[in-house]
Structure 1
Amino acid sequence: MTDLILYIANKNYSSWSFRPWIALTAAGIPFREELIPFGPGATHPRFRELSPTGKVPVLHHGQVRVWESLAIIEYVAELYPDARLWPADRENRSLARSISMEMLSGFRALRSACPMNLRRPVKAIPLPEGVSGDVARIETIWREMLKRSGGPFLFGAFSAADAMFAPVVNRFAAYDLVRDADTIAYTDAMRAHPAWRAWETAALAEPWIVPEDEA
């Protein structure tokens, strides 16, 4: 099979890069990583050469180009059905896709106010309007899915849905946003996953600094 090449940006900051990377890594799917660090304005001239949006992540598979995190995950799930990126049960699979789409299209207040930053010391900030509502909705999703599956991940085993919410785990911790025991148990499980730890180790070793208002 032609090699999969996943182009990403800084591991410390790029939440959208994190999502397909942790999904593929956790599932044991072979791919080659190409990291291009952000330039001024959290962009880079090469991004435009690699992706029609001028953004990463983007997956190259021979002549095929797939951009946007969830589309990348879906494409690879079709290539590797035995990897079970999505839950095997049809109802669970529909739930996993629904909450993944909700993450893709929603929670803008949280994403804007609390950028992903794995090197950020834990510190609360004044929360703009909408952030508390986003946090509450995410906690509700997690609580319902974990109750349904029994954990430790949203659908029992690690899945694409966990990958889509992975940057939120960092946001909740870095900005000291949550107190609920079930939420914290889930975030602890996520942060203990070998794929998470591999990404975090690389992120902490990066030399690049990007201002929070650009990440």
Structure 2
Amino acid sequence: MALTLVIGNKNYSSWSMRPWLALKARNIAFDEVIIPLYTGDADKQRILEFTRSGKVPVLVDGDITIWDSLAIIEYAAERFPEAHLWPKDAASRAHARSVSAEMHSGFAALRDECGMNLHRPVGAKALSAAALADIARIQEIWSKCRARYGKLGPYLFGAFGAADAMYAPVVHRFRTYAIGVAPDVRDYMDTMMALPAFQQWTRAGLAETLVIEKYEVE
């Protein structure tokens, strides 16, 4: 039985992008169900039919349901060890899990002030000190990971993996809001934006026509 991944709008849903990209880039087959966000009670009810959390993304594997982005990635890593979503080395794996968890639980100011919106014209905006601190910390993470593991490949831990999927929406945020970044960070962003699965998500998001007003207000 194929996996089913329930996601929101590709233009806006950063949390949906993370497990989708992890599965797609590592060639893990799944069926995709898109339920538009914030469009009314009917779509909310559709989400509730998959998970009582009322939120996407959701992964369904037979009678198993997983309803959190990082939990989905962890499940996929266990279910498909050949996909190598986490590094093989224990120390590197611990490092990758730590930076992924930091993304999962942190950077609230950046999220609030620079929401993912692929349709937004590229351009800078005034940001708070907290958001600027988030940006600096993310650049530090990316730079240190690539300096440490760069001999293994161009992603955060060499080959594309879970940590890259967790930070993928930030690549869009940095691009959309014209965030000034260091050269090595720009190289990493270029690497991510050249990834076929990343491009596939982006094309689909740009093709969407639904506008969610709450995400259009700056």
Partner of 1:133: 133
Matching of residue 26 in structure 1 with residue 28 in structure 2: no
Specify the alignment match of 1:91 in structure 2: 91
Residue segments in structure 2 that go unaligned for 5+ positions in a row: none
Gaps of 5+ in 1: none
- Structure 1 residue 199 and structure 2 residue 201: aligned? yes
Aligned residues: 214
- Deviation digits for residues 34-79 of structure 1, max 9, x if unmatched? 1111234897221122112100000011111101000000111111
Q: Percent identity?
A: 51
Cα separation, 1, equivalents of 2:111 and 2:45: 24
Q: Is the 8 A contact 2:15 2:57 kept in 1?
A: yes
Q: Is the 8 A contact 2:139 2:181 kept in 1?
A: no
Q: Aligned partners of 1:93, 1:164: CA distance in 2, in Å? A: 14
Q: Is the 8 A contact 1:9 1:38 kept in 2?
A: yes
Partners of 1:50 and 1:196 lie apart in 2 by 26
Q: Report the Cα offset of residue 178 of structure 1.
A: 2.1
214 and 174 in structure 1: CA distance in 2 versus 1, 3 angstrom threshold: closer
Contact 1:115/1:212 (8 A) holds in 2: no
Shift in alpha-carbon separation, 1:92–1:209, aligned structure 2, 3 A: same
More helix by share: 2
Question: What one-letter code is carried by the residue in structure 2 that aligns with 1:49?
Answer: E
Q: CA deviation at 1:117?
A: 1.1
Q: How far off its partner does 1:176 sit?
A: 1.1
- State the Cα distance separating 1:132 from its structure 2 match: 0.4
Aligned to 1:210: 212
Quick one: which amino acid aligns to residue 7 of structure 1? V
Residues 110-134 of structure 1: CA distance to partner in whole angstroms, max 9, x if unpaired?
0010001112111111102300000
In the alignment, which residue of structure 2 is the partner of 1:61?
61
CA RMSD of aligned residues (A): 1.6
